[in-house]
Amino acid sequence: MHKVTIHPQWSIIGPDGSALAQRLVDLLVGVHEHGSLLAACQAANVSYRHAWQLIRQGDQLMGAPLLVKSRGKGSVLTPLGGKLVWADRRIRARLSPVLDSLASELEAEIEKVSSPSAPLLRIHANHGFAVEALRSRLLGSRVPHEFRYCGSVEAVAALNNQVCELAGFAVPIGEFEPAVVDHYRPWLTARAYRLIHVAVRSQGLMVAPGNPKKIYEPRDLARPGVRFINRQPGSGTRLLLDLLLQQAKVAPARISGFEQCEYTHAAVAAFVASGMADAAYGVETPARQFKLDFIPSHRERYFLLCDERSLERDDVQELLTILRGPVFQAAVDGLPGYQAADAGRVLGLAEAFQSFAPAPRGRARAKG
């Protein structure tokens, strides 16, 4: 199957019409990630001399330095250079799900024309890290497929409406499992469905390095001076956070920024890393990628839901082979906060969730 890639590109135009070079933005991001301009040049395959030429041009365009030499530290980003780095990371974090969905749709349209007889495996799921690892493996296989990124409720509703074959959603392990299962129950009981286990992941609070606001639990989000960035309604993460706040008896209206939403874990992490919020709630992987502190809260299982008849399809069987294989599992195990144990295991709803199990029969009353 052909792979379509779409990357976000942005720029700043000066009064004279000159534009900030994307190559310069990439270099500034490289300095942030690698710690020095020399290392950034090596990673980007750019000469050190040309890099400084780009930086000087950027300085002139912006009217202030983007990078300065510091004794004993080499070249370091200025506050303005740092803002450009975080602008780039926020843009990529916010737009990647949209662009990846569009890329997958284009791949599917190309596949329909080039291989019109091949059935298309349609997968609706959130833009998560294990899901991305699965998509990467599917692209390397011969399985024609289409990914559409959406919230968990939207995904299971799409499956119920027969718009897709597989729908991704997460269920926390432990005390909140019954409430989350009940939330999805209207869709789970519509047909004879089966669950395909994908991964276990950690959810928790993302905070600035060193946790300067001393945010350790959901009730701390309501303190004065704490700014929060939320996930959108309909996402599994938002549902879990709502349950945590109910348990802590914290009214959402008390949390500054509660109604401000982003659509991915990476986007909320980028928001905190840029200094525009003090905390977010999400999975551990982007917290580590953005060098944030992470306070774990709950572990949850991520599943793909499907009609049990779909398990007979060749493409679903190939997907199960990928999930059970060492390459996919090694990729997921390499993600901070993720475990791939049991990936590819097929479960019935009653087997996976105690609240779906048949109620035990009571003992018959003894006759007197």
Catalogue all structural domains in the chain, each as residue range(s) with its CATH number: 1-118 (1.10.10.10), 119-356 (3.40.190.290)
> Checking DSSP bridges between strand 193-207 and strand 346-348, what pairing results, if any?
antiparallel
The beta-strand segments (E) located in the chain are 67-70, 74-77, 121-125, 145-149, 166-172, 193-207, 228-231, 261-262, 279-283, 293-307, 338-339, 346-348
Whether the per-residue pLDDT at 366 is higher than 70: the answer is no
Mean pLDDT of the chain: 90
Quickly list H helices, 63-169. Answer: 79-114, 129-139, 152-160
Q: What is the pLDDT of residues 77-131, one digit of tens each?
A: 999 998 898 888 888 888 887 888 788 788 878 877 776 666 789 999 988 899 9
Phi, psi of 357 (to 5 degrees): -70, 145
Q: What is the pLDDT of residues 165-214, one digit of tens each?
A: 999 999 999 999 999 999 999 999 878 999 999 999 999 999 999 999 99
Whether the per-residue pLDDT at 231 is higher than 90: the answer is yes
pLDDT at 172: 97
Helix 37-44, helix 48-62: angle, nearest 10: 110
Whether the per-residue pLDDT at 70 is higher than 90: the answer is no
Average pLDDT over residues 22-48: 90
Q: What is the pLDDT of residues 130-151, one digit of tens each?
A: 999 999 999 888 888 989 888 8
